[in-house]
Amino acid sequence: MTKNNAMNNLSLASIFPAKTRIRLIAVWLIVILFMTLGGAISGDTLTPLLATTVFLVLLLTIVGAAFGVVKEADELAHKLGEPFGTLILTLSIVSIEVILISAVMLGPGENPTIGKDSIFSVMMIIMNLVIGLCILLGGLKYGEQEYNAQGTMSYLAMIIMLGGIGLLLPNYIQGAGDGMFSNTQAIGLAAFIILLYALFLYFQMKGYKHLYVQPKEGSMEIPYKQRDMANITSEDENHSTGGKKEIWIRSIILIGMILPIVLLSHNMAVVVDYGIKAANLPTLLGGVLVAVIVFTPESMTAIKAALNNEFQRAINLCHGAFVSTVGLTVPSVLIIGLITGKTVLFGMTSTETILFVITLLLSLMTFLGKRTTPIMGIMHLVLFAVFTLLIFNP
């Protein structure tokens, strides 16, 4: 009875500690400041000193809010179980990316390749840098780590399908010319991608949840339906013991952390556009910056999972993040382009195409078995180093 009362009367302080309250208040104070004075910040009025100051303030605020999003989503992940928990975390992070990309597209300058640049940058960061670190660091600590090969292959199949349609196809169709989709193609492909991604999520959350759960010793000998029922029972226990109160409060805090990023994204887009032009930097850096800002917290969570010997969770976070990135970003950018008349270019350059194909082939070789091999992690890290080199010295 005492235990039940304790669960039903969770103190707000335990769910909403002082550190979280301070973070939330600080972030919203910055939001209020920029909503009040942000109108004075534009490409015409910016100076190098002002742009640097504004950029640093916005960067710290958005990254701080993103870490808050990851923290609350991660807590919900443990309450709801896999794959629901990781899905909440991934969708929360990817929604931030879509918001930032949309803000850049709707900003004062023309950024026709920001969608492609961001997606490609996410791929190289998540599928080479982060996965490489997860394999290498996890391997150094535990040796070979187990994962669910069948679920991992389904992620890679989605990446090949969505990435091929969104990034490779534009360079090899007539379209509207110069790698652009025609309006009919844009509408049709956006619909196909949304449908495929929605069906993937449906099967992932329903009858095939067992493919995305960390395998246990001897679990592969148990029929999948029994494993699925065992997972459902475990999740039901988590729901009953965790309490709906905590889930609701954390969900509200999660939204409270995402909204500031939405409200500050336009100011960040203005400053980033100014900085890239003023410093004469490669335009791809805009997409890289969006990817780094958005996925740093989730990347740290994935590496932490690998170090906790939860490699399937690391895969769910990394591969799931990229599948969600393509599944949500491509349709969003195409729809925004259609509505606003902005030019949208998704076709990759020849260098990006080669890196894309190498990443896919290397990922397939890495996850064909059921255990990780540290040397494969090193290969992924070297490929990311090549990508970084070619940004500044193409």
Helices (H), the chain: 2-8, 12-15, 18-37, 48-80, 84-105, 114-124, 131-142, 149-163, 183-205, 224-242, 244-278, 284-307, 311-340, 350-366, 374-392
Calpha distance 285→388 (Å, rounded): 10
117 pLDDT more than 80: yes
97 pLDDT more than 50: yes
Of the candidates 250, 235, 234, 199, the one whose C-alpha atom is nearest the C-alpha of residue 70 is 250
344 pLDDT more than 80: yes
Q: Percent of the chain at pLDDT above 90? A: 25
Please give the pLDDT value at position 122.
87
394 pLDDT more than 70: yes
Count of C-beta atoms within a 10 Å radius of residue 320: 29
Between these two residues, 295 and 359, which has the higher pLDDT value? 359
Mean pLDDT value across the chain: 81
Count of C-beta atoms within a 10 Å radius of residue 260: 25
Q: Mean pLDDT across the stretch 215-233?
A: 49
Q: Mean pLDDT across the stretch 36-62?
A: 76
| DSSP summary character for residue 394 | -
Please give the pLDDT value at position 226.
45
Please give the pLDDT value at position 386.
96
159 pLDDT more than 90: yes
Q: Percent of the chain at pLDDT above 70? A: 85
CATH class, 2-392 region: mainly alpha
Calpha distance 299→322 (Å, rounded): 12
Q: What is the dihedral of CA 261, 266, 270, 272, to 10 degrees?
A: 30
pTM: 0.78
Q: Mean pLDDT across the stretch 360-379?
A: 92
| 279: helix, strand or coil | coil
Calpha distance 242→246 (Å, rounded): 7
Of the candidates 127, 379, 386, 96, the one whose C-alpha atom is nearest the C-alpha of residue 264 is 96
Q: What is the dihedral of CA 143, 149, 151, 154, to 10 degrees?
A: 120
Calpha distance 327→200 (Å, rounded): 10
Q: What is the pLDDT of residues 254-312, one digit of tens each?
A: 888 878 877 777 777 778 777 877 878 787 787 787 777 777 777 888 898 899 998 99
Between these two residues, 339 and 101, which has the higher pLDDT value? 339
Length of the chain: 394
Calpha distance 167→172 (Å, rounded): 10
